[in-house]
Structure 1
């Protein structure tokens, strides 16, 4: 009798957990659709991030310049492979009116700072601690790069690793006239 009672309670707990999991899955699917998908040609959502040096970066303040927003994580191997190419192009394109801002996916400041130092990254790197920028841009897999034209519209969205040739080509396409 005691054994049957324990089994019934265990089954009830398992059913409750399954019900919660199904409910969450449905909720996540329904609310994800409410996030407006960002597409080429659309106005880039404004945001403000603070980089590892304490400097604020607000997208609307870059109006008139091209901006590459690169979303990444320290565990992301394709991110690690494309950063050296971005770094090699950064100074040249910055002088031509194009900024690169790398936005990390809510990792610790210690972890990100150590990574940035090891990689020799000199462009602004910010941590999206609240994931608000990731949400605004509906970022899925990493890396994802958003190329924003000087007028504030999105030129293109690249999901996955880029070669240096592609990085140069895409940065050229967002240079101010």
Structure 2
């Protein structure tokens, strides 16, 4: 075999090895992503600082002693469109009982979020995670994902994805974290 053919064979084998490793890693990462770093009941909720549409700053640790329904959502999310009116309706009666709602919007333009908030008449804080830092810290995938955080700052329950939550479901969730 000529030296040129041998070099070509080695080069092709190296490329094939890199591709096999990349595919193997991707399959491994996807198969184990549920067990790596996902927050679960009993974990301390990571603190964060985000701003709302008016520029007001919110910090999760400021809500110590209160229950927090932390909802990650998007304007394009169909289940979010169904859940938000229920959350908004219950917010006024649960806020005096020590339960807060923080809705963290991920990956969309401010205009669309503003329009969504106006359309649904949302009265609870809608926070913008424009860099995705909080979404990453909470390992959010898919939307909606809701964390029920107790007055002690620990996650009580995580609701992931389209659960078709009813008003009663959300009421039960708020009762679960009420101080």
Q: Flag whether TM exceeds 0.5 (same fold).
A: yes
Shift of 1:106: 1.9
Shift of 1:85: 0.4
| Aligned equivalents of 1:102, 1:145: Cα separation in 2 | 9
Structure 1: which 5+ residue stretches go unaligned? 1-11
Structure 1 length as normaliser, TM-score?
0.82
| Aligned equivalents of 2:141, 2:23: Cα separation in 1 | 18
Structure 2 length as normaliser, TM-score?
0.81
Shift of 1:36: 1.8
Q: Are 1:26 and 2:25 counterparts? A: yes
Shift of 1:41: 0.9
| Aligned equivalents of 1:88, 1:125: Cα separation in 2 | 15
Pick from 149, 166, 169: which aligns with 1:166? 169
Deviating beyond 4 angstroms after TM superposition, the runs of 4 or more aligned structure 1 residues are 30-35
Distance 1:56-1:34 versus aligned 2 partners, 3 A rule? farther
Q: Are 1:110 and 2:134 counterparts? A: no
Q: Are 1:37 and 2:38 counterparts? A: yes
Shift of 1:23: 3.6
Distance 1:25-1:69 versus aligned 2 partners, 3 A rule? farther
Shift of 1:26: 3.2
What's the C-alpha RMSD, in Å, of the aligned pairs?
2.6
Secondary structure of the structure 2 residue equivalent to 1:166: helix
Structure 2: which 5+ residue stretches go unaligned? 1-11
| Aligned equivalents of 2:150, 2:43: Cα separation in 1 | 11
Partner of 1:94: 95
Shift of 1:25: 8.2
